[in-house]
């Protein structure tokens, strides 16, 4: 990349005007002639079999074009990559709210009404939906990544230790609840289908749809230029994507299928409930000697997903004896899936709470305790860090936050009716670049050069359009106003997804490589020798070239795997807890993050704030509750599922460590979308203990648990 003026600057989003004027196109915003509407109907039992579906009245209802159930649905490939099953291929019921059919009608209202006319008979069986009841039945997961990982001898080290803690920390089921529910418009042209759909991984959605529909990938086009949030739920693809295509084929018209908020709770996955048994031991001077992190969780009855809660425990602290294990019980609940900071956010709550508990037992400052156990290399694999900023995050954060005001003993700081406490929690998340391609198209009129950047990237609302434009502007020496970014379309060059914090690193490096390549090709085309390297814009003018384009296929550096590459953070929370009501306020929160090159501090800060808000919600308000009698969720809307609002959130400050680390990729970008939530709930829980002296080990920390 040439030295430019845009990367690293807090530039406003180039798609901001589209967002605020309502002209950004989301999945259901496209207007297609003669569009019909589909509404899914769902099972009202959690386990058993459909014995009969009577659709006669629905089929006669005004405006109804088709009713599709397992009786007349086309044969689909259930192993094609669509998560959660529910593809209308069988009468078997595996969870409450499973899709059992859909009605297609002229209007949404007609389709919705017709679903109420359908009569379903079941042969019920006893469901497994009560996690506490069945947790003891948990078994070793089938996935090899979830096998027990042991180092040293935890049992002996823990038994012999003078200072130790053993506790179980619980996190509840959570739901992603993006602002934009999952929705699709599908239309066919011959044997090819176009799907307007919010997809975090454009090419992944294309492959899953093609495989499930039993057609070639080139016959599926995914269009998704804007996404109204996803947080992992739009990373994998769910049945609604393919069912929209099935419906459109059946009625030979475009079909719009949009999930309601209530349907979101049992259609597109969730963050699973976890019991995490922590055992920590240390010497008198604060050196860790043993760490065991044992997770028990649940998955779907016939499909496995296990959130990797032990990941942070593998890498955050130096400890000679460790055990990371998982046990899982299959249950009649929709399969869990990736949720922001998967495993790390929930696992860090248990780990950072346990670290805080042991520090208190040792009468050590929790920051001092963490720094004392800082590893010089990755404890899980022995690889050197590409860079590691945990200590710097802790030290700079403590100074900026005013950590010296914290008292070791709880209940020492009061403000009127409130007990005031301070807490800290650390986190990490892997940083990776994934294979991505980009095309740069240059055009010139007179002395003005413009560029179009094309790649099948996605933008969750995090600013992908903008960081791509910034990267291209510097790489080509063209003003941002002269750059058009085209993303979110599987017809464009393949790219990584906006998942796992790989998006920014993958997209920006692909675009940067394309800018370098097109400049080199223009230099070669000129046939001249230059004393100073010219820019692509200069060459287009000097060589009188009207149009020129190239494509780059970018990969991570060959030796990146030799290093352990992560983003790191330290989170500082101040809480005020009412002595009379148990209500918790978080008036102040500080996050210090080391995540390599920050492409845009404004959009980066926004992502960190989003992670903090969700982390505070995880700590204090968010919980999806299952009725153990039936297996359906009691929380079925945002009226019952309590997402933090403005009044719940106080002042949030963010600091980014100036970190230069080009081992992960050429630009040194690490990614921040995931790490922003990691360690947040732990910091809040630790602050509540410091305020009240009460250690709450099951989230969310509601007033009843503090009174």
Closest by CA position to 346, among listed 649, 683, 618: 618
The whole-angstrom separation of Cα 53 and Cα 76 is 20
Q: What is the 3-state secondary structure (H, E, C) of 126-186?
A: CCCCCHHHHHHHCECCCCHHHCCEEECCHHHHHHHCCEEEEEEEEECEECCCCCCCCEEEE
* Known catalytic residue at 674: yes
Catalytic residue among 94, 352, 623, 674: 674
640: three-class secondary structure by DSSP: coil
Residue 562 Rama label (left phi>0; alpha psi -120 to 50; beta): alpha
User: What span, in angstroms and rounded, lies between the C-alpha atoms of 291 and 164?
Assistant: 10
Picking from 412, 263, 256, 251, the residue whose alpha carbon sits closest to that of residue 334 is 263
Q: Which of 167, 163, 590, 149 is nearest to 378 (CA)?
A: 149
Give the separation between CA 624 and CA 612, rounded to whole angstroms.
19
Tokens representing 458? 């996605």
Helix, strand, or coil (residue 577) = strand
Distance between CA atoms of residues 609 and 612, nearest Å = 5
Two structure tokens written together for 64: 């109804």
Number of alpha carbons in the 13 Å side-chain half-sphere of residue 474: 21
Helices (H), 338-481: 344-362, 366-372, 390-401, 464-476
192 CB neighbour count, 10 Å cutoff = 13
- Cα–Cα nearest to 290, from 302, 280, 275: 280
Two structure tokens written together for 71:
């009786």
- If you ran DSSP here, which 8-state letter would residue 644 be given? -
Q: In the 8-state DSSP scheme, what is residue 200?
A: S
- Helix (H) / strand (E) element for 593: namely strand 584-594
The Cα–Cα gap between 138 and 277 comes to 14
Give dist(CA 701, CA 703) in Å, integer.
Answer: 7
Give the span between the Cα atoms of 15 and 17, in whole angstroms: 6
Q: What is the C-alpha to C-alpha distance for residues 703 and 685, in angstroms, rounded to an integer?
A: 13
Running DSSP on this structure, what letter comes out for residue 377? S
Active site residues: 674
């Amino acid at each position: 990349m040439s030295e430019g003026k845009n990367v690293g600057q807090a530039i406003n989003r180039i798609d901001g005007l589209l967002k605020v004027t309502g002209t950004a196109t989301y999945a259901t915003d496209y207007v297609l002639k003669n569009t019909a509407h589909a509404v899914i109907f769902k099972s009202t039992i959690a386990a058993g079999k459909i014995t009969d579906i009577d659709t006669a009245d629905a089929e006669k209802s005004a405006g109804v074009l088709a009713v599709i159930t397992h009786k007349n649905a086309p044969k689909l490939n259930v192993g094609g990559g669509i998560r959660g099953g529910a593809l209308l291929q069988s009468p078997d019921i595996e969870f409450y709210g499973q899709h059992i059919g859909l009605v297609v009608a002229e209007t949404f209202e007609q389709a919705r009404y017709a679903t109420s006319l359908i009569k379903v008979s079941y042969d019920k069986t006893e469901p497994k939906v009560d996690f506490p009841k069945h947790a003891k039945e948990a078994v070793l997961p089938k996935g090899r990544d979830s096998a027990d990982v042991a180092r040293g001898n935890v049992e002996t080290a823990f038994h012999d230790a003078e200072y130790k803690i053993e506790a179980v920390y619980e996190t509840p089921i959570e739901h992603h609840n993006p602002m934009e529910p999952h929705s699709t418009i599908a239309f066919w042209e011959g044997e090819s289908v176009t799907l307007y759909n919010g997809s975090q991984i454009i090419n992944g959605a294309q492959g899953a749809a093609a495989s499930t529909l039993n057609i070639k990938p080139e016959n599926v086009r995914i269009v998704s230029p804007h996404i109204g949030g996803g947080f992992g739920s739009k990373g994998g693809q769910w049945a609604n994507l393919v069912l929209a295509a099935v419906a459109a084929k059946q009625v030979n018209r475009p079909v719009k299928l949009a999930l309601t908020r209530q349907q979101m709770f049992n259609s597109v996955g969730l963050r699973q409930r976890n019991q995490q048994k922590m055992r920590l031991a240390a010497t008198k001077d604060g050196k860790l000697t043993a760490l065991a992190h044992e997770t028990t969780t649940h998955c779907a009855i016939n499909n496995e997903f296990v959130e990797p809660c032990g990941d942070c425990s593998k890498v955050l602290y130096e400890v000679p004896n460790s055990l990371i294990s998982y046990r899982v019980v299959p249950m009649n609940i929709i399969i869990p899936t990736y949720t922001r900071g998967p495993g790390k956010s929930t696992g860090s709550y248990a780990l950072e709470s346990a670290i805080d508990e042991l520090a208190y037992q040792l009468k050590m400052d929790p920051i001092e305790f963490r720094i004392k156990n800082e590893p010089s290399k990755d404890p899980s694999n022995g690889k050197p860090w590409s860079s590691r900023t945990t200590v710097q995050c802790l030290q700079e954060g403590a100074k900026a936050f005013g950590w010296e005001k914290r008292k070791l003993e709880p209940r020492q700081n009061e403000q009127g009716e409130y007990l005031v406490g301070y807490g800290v929690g650390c986190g990490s998340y892997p940083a990776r670049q994934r294979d991505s391609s980009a095309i740069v198209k240059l055009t010139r009129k007179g002395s003005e050069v413009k560029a179009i950047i094309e790649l099948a990237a996605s933008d969750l609302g995090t600013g992908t359009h903008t960081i791509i434009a910034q990267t291209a502007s510097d790489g080509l020496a063209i003003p941002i106003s002269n750059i058009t970014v085209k993303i979110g379309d599987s017809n464009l060059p393949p790219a990584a997804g906006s998942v796992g914090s790989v998006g920014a690193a993958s997209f920006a490096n692909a675009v940067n490589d394309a800018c370098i390549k097109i400049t080199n090709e223009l230099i070669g085309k000129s046939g001249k020798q230059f004393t100073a390297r010219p820019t692509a814009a200069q060459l287009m003018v000097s060589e009188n070239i009207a149009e020129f384009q190239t494509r780059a296929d970018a990969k991570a550096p060959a030796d990146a795997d030799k290093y352990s590459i992560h983003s790191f953070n330290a989170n500082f929370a101040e809480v005020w807890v009412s002595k009379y009501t148990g209500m918790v306020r978080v008036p102040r929160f500080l996050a210090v993050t080391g995540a390599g090159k920050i492409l845009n501090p404004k959009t980066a800060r926004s992502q960190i704030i989003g992670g903090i808000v969700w982390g505070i919600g995880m700590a204090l308000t968010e919980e999806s509750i299952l009725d153990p009698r039936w297996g359906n969720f009691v929380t079925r809307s945002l009226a019952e599922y309590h997402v933090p609002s403005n009044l719940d959130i106080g002042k949030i400050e963010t600091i980014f460590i100036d970190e230069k680390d080009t081992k992960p990729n050429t630009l040194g970008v690490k990614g921040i979308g995931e790490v922003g939530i990691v360690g947040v709930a732990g910091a809040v829980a630790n602050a509540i203990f410091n305020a009240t002296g009460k250690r709450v080990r099951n989230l969310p920390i509601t007033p009843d648990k503090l009174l």
